[in-house]
Amino acid sequence: MPEAPTLDLVLRRNSIERLKRETFPLDVINYLPELIERGYEAVSEDDIVRLQWYGLYHDKPKIGYFMMRIKVPSGILTPAKLRTIGELAVRYGRDYTELSTRQNVQLHWIRLDHLPDVFATLERAGLTTLGGCGDTVRNITGCPVAGIDPDELFDARPLIEEAARFFYGNREYSDLPRKHKITISTCAYQCNAPELNCISLIGVRQGGRDGFALRLGGGLSATPRIARSIGVFIPVTEAMEVLRAILDGWKEDLRYRLSRVKARLKFMVDDYGPEGMRQMIEARLGRKLEDLEQEPRPLGETEHMGVHPQKQEGLNYIGFPVYLGRVTGQQMLRIADLVEAFGGDIRLTRQQNFIITGVADDQVDRIVREIAEIGFPLNVSRHHATGIACTGEPLCNYAVAQTKDKLDEIIRHLEQTFGRAADEVRVHVDGCPHACAHHWTGDIGLQGTTARERTAEGEKIQAYEIFLRGGLGPDAQIGKSVLRRVPSDQVKYYVERLVRAFLERRQEGERFRDFCRRLSDEELTAIAEGNEVTAGAVA
């Protein structure tokens, strides 16, 4: 392992580390009135970066509007909190919100002069944007039906809430080498994607005690990794201590501050290996960790959609697909009013959907009908629940291609072509390599790019890379880019041909990812391009 650099070298090489030491990002709030008074055009690029610590990124184009990310630990919202977000969306966000794959809610078109009222309104409601972006602990995710699911091992909500209270806005943990993602869950299906997080605590029971298995180093973006087991059992009472030990070891090692590209925990896990990470944690704790007797395995896959009985007798939760992850502020207000009337709450899922809890047995049909009237019916194809798209064009500055509209085009084409026969195929669409929509692990993952050709006017043409073989679960695997620079107007036909081949040739019990893993790159490319050579054909 290379020798740790000096702080002086880090500050010379890494402009963000230098920026954080010149004015700590959390302190930007102290001179926000001055920034508003001077006007957007006078705000320095350094202060624009510091605003990320308050959950703000530039909307595209950069003319004064921001995307704002509201953190929702484990996706759990009271009706009052949902109403607050809805009201802000109506007041400032053009009646538009997006549900994210980290159980956040995102608003757009927020201006600097909106921020004092937005921050005050969120604080009164017990909500925060602190650490929604920036070098912080991002939203702590979990199973959306924690505390109510009959299949869960135990209720992880107290630990999630404790971790959120401790880390959100904590100055000591707001100067990390880069963003850091934690997930905590005891879901029997591991619906929260522990494979993809920097730190994953997965519920287990060992020796009659509740606790967690630990996996480290997951993450996507341009260099994806599946989280690796550390082989230890962590009792619930020791979980916070272990979380801090991991973060302390990472944030104090200057090797992971020298380059922004390498400033993620996954690279530390690459360097140390699972055993080395365990030794580092144990050294910080001053004691040995207990060996894990058996690695927890998920029961299967679920999005928690549809009607399910809760562990509380006579009550149910109902999962509603949110097409393309889009919800209007007005819809939020109506949902909040409906759920508040019977004392339930709202849970946001990793797949950009929502769940309503606390529905009495004799009220299920009515609630399903009324939510459908608001715009979220249950009797739709499964693509509405499993299709995932990032913000993309036209709002995200990183995106080079459409995402939500492209996913809409693909889903409608699949429905028209196959009806419900292709429901199990999951399509994920990202507009850039950052992989907010997890294209690496969809059955069919699309990443926006540009074609080599240009229009007659010299403009870039949108295109997509197509990733196959990815997936989560016991056989988790990062997908591979099998087809490159597929023209935007041809993508739905490439997807159609792949799905058709799967439906016609699948072996018994075979999933789409298994089908793709069974075939070679050349075979999959020929199928997608419609260039297969049939038996007996003349070359």
244 falls in which pLDDT band (50, 70, 90)? very high
Answer for the pair 99, 353: CB distance below 8 angstroms, yes or no: yes
The pLDDT value recorded for residue 351 is 97
Answer for the pair 129, 292: CB distance below 8 angstroms, yes or no: no
Q: How crowded is residue 417: how many other Cβ atoms within 10 Å of its Cβ?
A: 15
| CA gap 318, 316 in Å, rounded | 7
Answer for the pair 78, 347: CB distance below 8 angstroms, yes or no: no
The pLDDT value recorded for residue 460 is 86
Dihedral over Cα of 169, 214, 230, 199: its sign = negative
Write out the two tokens for 283: 């050294």
3 falls in which pLDDT band (50, 70, 90)? confident
**What pTM value is reported for the model?**
0.96
The pLDDT value recorded for residue 454 is 80
Positions of E strands within 424-512: 427-430, 444-454, 460-468, 480-487
* pLDDT tens readout for residues 329-357: 999 999 999 999 999 999 999 999 999 99
The pLDDT value recorded for residue 455 is 76
% the chain with pLDDT above 70: 99
Query: 512 — phi, psi (to 5°)?
Result: -60, -45
Query: Which of 161-170, 263-272, 446-455, 481-490 is least confident?
Result: 446-455
When the pLDDT of each residue in the chain is averaged and rounded to a whole number, the result is 96
State the DSSP string of 204-251.
EEETTEEEEEEEE--B-TTS-B--EEEEEEEEGGGHHHHHHHHHHHHH
1 falls in which pLDDT band (50, 70, 90)? confident
pLDDT over 50 (residue 535): no
Give the relative orientation of helices 265-285 and 239-251 as an angle to the nearest 10 degrees: 120
* pLDDT tens readout for residues 377-427: 999 999 999 999 999 999 999 999 999 999 999 999 999 999 999 999 999
Answer for the pair 491, 498: CB distance below 8 angstroms, yes or no: no
Instruction: Tell me how far apart the terminal alpha carbons of the chain are, to the nearest angstrom.
Output: 54
Find where tokens 């392992």 sit: 1
* pLDDT tens readout for residues 188-210: 999 999 999 999 999 999 999 99
Burial class (CB in 10 A: 0-12, 13-18, 19+), 456: exposed
The pLDDT value recorded for residue 458 is 76
533 falls in which pLDDT band (50, 70, 90)? low
